[in-house]
Structure 1
Amino acid sequence: MFQPSQHDVRRFFCEVWRKHREGGVLTPMEAVAAPWVAEHPEYHGELSDVEAALAADYKVEDGRVNPFLHLSMHLSISEQVSIDQPRGIKQAFELLAAKLGSAHEAQHEVMECLGEMIWASQRTGLPPDGQAYLECVRRRATAR
């Protein structure tokens, strides 16, 4: 399994932003990430300075959003939907996106469910519960 370091992830997104701005050729993974980076102009300044990005500390207590975590979650959800893993996530995501009228807003809703699943796994020491994650997304897609 591919396990990039924190610096690898930060360099990746900074490079995606640089190539996107300059009209450079993107790798397939960069091509998936670039639209998400473009849709978050609030992160562009941080993505423009690799050295500052590598040194940045994003503490919850400081109220700073970690742009690299946020963009990584967009990328993860995009991959999950594209391969329908966990099985049913594609349909649940599409229903949620249709309900909200925005794939971007649907991704942010799915992020909440993904974060809950990861938090529960870390808290209990059990493997991530893909079924609970999927049910969370389905509830959001079908709630009135």
Structure 2
Amino acid sequence: MNNTATQSMTQTADTQINSNAKKEVIKKEVLKTNMPADQKFYDFYLDEHQNMACRRLHFAGSSFGLLGLAKSVKTRSPKPLLKGIAAGYACAWVGHFFFEKNKPASFKFPLKSFASDFRMYGDVVRGNLSLKDRKFDKAR
């Protein structure tokens, strides 16, 4: 094969790689702009939980809520569930008022916040969100 043919093949391969890279960039931009509303809210929710003490308190509060639910099912009584919910929200609100220094999203968006809290809890359990340092977060 001569030098011109080799250069032509190299240029064609480079053009194909650049074209694929451009397509991937465009695809990512489209996905960002057409993001589902749930993901947009969850991103907002994570922005409201940057402080590690607040995240830890949320995790503890959600754990109290789940323990209350389990005990409530076991005893067939609503009292443990109510206590778990109260303890959960108390932990979360302390985290927001004293550490994060913002207003809890549950005041404006109670259902979305409740769902996002358990999504955040799951991300922590799976290792996608850190309770030590935000630099270890993988959820975004």
Superposition TM-score tier, normalisation by shorter sequence: under 0.3
Q: TM-score, normalised by structure 2?
A: 0.25
Who wins on radius of gyration, i.e. which is larger?
2
Tell me which protein shows more helix as a share of its residues. Answer: 2
